[in-house]
Amino acid sequence: MKVADFGPDIVFTARKIIFALLLFAAVLTPASAQTNYYCVVCGKGPLTGRIWISKWGPVCDDCYQLKDHCSICGLPIKDGDGHITTPDGRFICRFDKTNVVMDVDEAKYLFADTARDVVEMYGQGFGLQYPSVTVAMFDVDYWSERGRPNGLHAFGFASTRKTADGRCIHEVVMLSGRLREEMIATAAHEYTHLWINENRPDSHVIDLDTIEAICELTAYNLMGEKNLPEMQQRILANPYTHGEIKTLVAVYQKYGIEYILNWVKNGTGATLDAAADDNETPAVSAISYVPPKLPIGLKFEGLLTIGQENEAVINGVPFSIGDEKKIKLRDKTVVVRCDAIHDYTVVVELNGSPEPVILERDIEKTIP
């Protein structure tokens, strides 16, 4: 069985970028007046007449009329101004390009870091039973506009394939060329889809807007943890969940996250109602899954490249996928089986337990 979900959508058109993502304020000065304004796009100045004020500074009227604009902030794009272009043709200005994610290895690390953050935020019950997640990036044209209303494109996509023996194989892809804080919010959203895919029984049919709102709630709460109120407001204002995110925030504030997660696992209704009777206390059972405890001193030290294959080095011992070896620690010996190898993480089973454990790469130690 395969469960797949698209993340929040956005329309990528120059007009909507200009008027929705960047608020230019026009300043009119007499042609004879001296100003200290210099165009941040072309450098022309001192500027007089009509001057446009962007988040990065003044923009002359000539540059404001340019047809190409930054897909993130809307700043006009001019040849030779230091901007970059994504493979699918989006422009990113020289100011934003230093804070965008273009490299897939960075996206993998960011997703793993976000997964740790949301589990720490919600508790160990929010950990994945199968934490190995394949992470990739895509450009806008990864999905054609055909068949998607109003030319909408997804920020992210999460899918889970359940094998015949009940194991879950997870995959997440995220849009390239976005600001790190935006991609962190998307990673939190898509991680929540994976948790729902693992924990929602087939018998519990949940309204799609409610599912998306639960995922957006994780992103909303994480942005609060990171002190990013503007990102929280954007999540609340996004029409993607048709307003259900506000319902979920209200439920969260009233009952807490454990109630929502247990409702996903054990509930029967299609939606959550924030207007429940104050005199009724919902039944909340403890979330049963707790990830196995990691033995002290067990470390993923890095990768060895043998031909075209990578081996994971754990406490000085090389592992290929499927290898099972003994590792002697200071206080015990553990049997380690390697299930999956990634750039920054390795998934193992310990002492014959079928529950997977994820080891993070020790970035302070490198393998020659």
- pLDDT by residue, tens only, the chain of 368 residues: 455 554 554 333 333 333 333 445 556 666 556 678 899 999 998 888 888 888 888 999 899 899 999 988 889 999 988 999 988 888 999 999 999 999 888 999 999 999 999 999 999 889 998 988 999 988 875 444 444 444 445 688 899 998 888 889 999 999 888 999 999 999 999 999 999 999 999 999 999 999 999 999 999 999 999 999 989 998 988 888 888 999 999 989 888 999 999 999 998 888 887 444 444 455 554 444 445 567 788 888 888 877 778 888 998 899 988 899 999 888 788 999 888 887 777 888 888 776 677 787 764 444 34
Q: Is 250 exposed, middle or buried (0-12, 13-18, 19+ CB in 10 A)?
A: middle
- What's the whole-model pTM score? 0.69
Longest dimension (CA), the chain: 82
Q: Where are the domains of the chain?
A: 2-10+101-266, 14-98, 300-360
Q: Is 37 helix (H, G, I), strand (E, B) or coil?
A: coil
Q: What span, in angstroms and rounded, lies between the C-alpha atoms of 263 and 283?
A: 9
Q: What's the order of all strands across the beta sheet hosting 300-306?
A: 300-306, 309-314, 317-319
Q: What span, in angstroms and rounded, lies between the C-alpha atoms of 159 and 150?
A: 24
- E-strand stretches of the chain: 2-6, 9-11, 25-29, 49-54, 57-60, 84-85, 91-92, 100-101, 133-138, 152-154, 156-162, 168-175, 178-179, 300-306, 309-314, 317-319, 324-328, 333-341, 345-350, 357-360
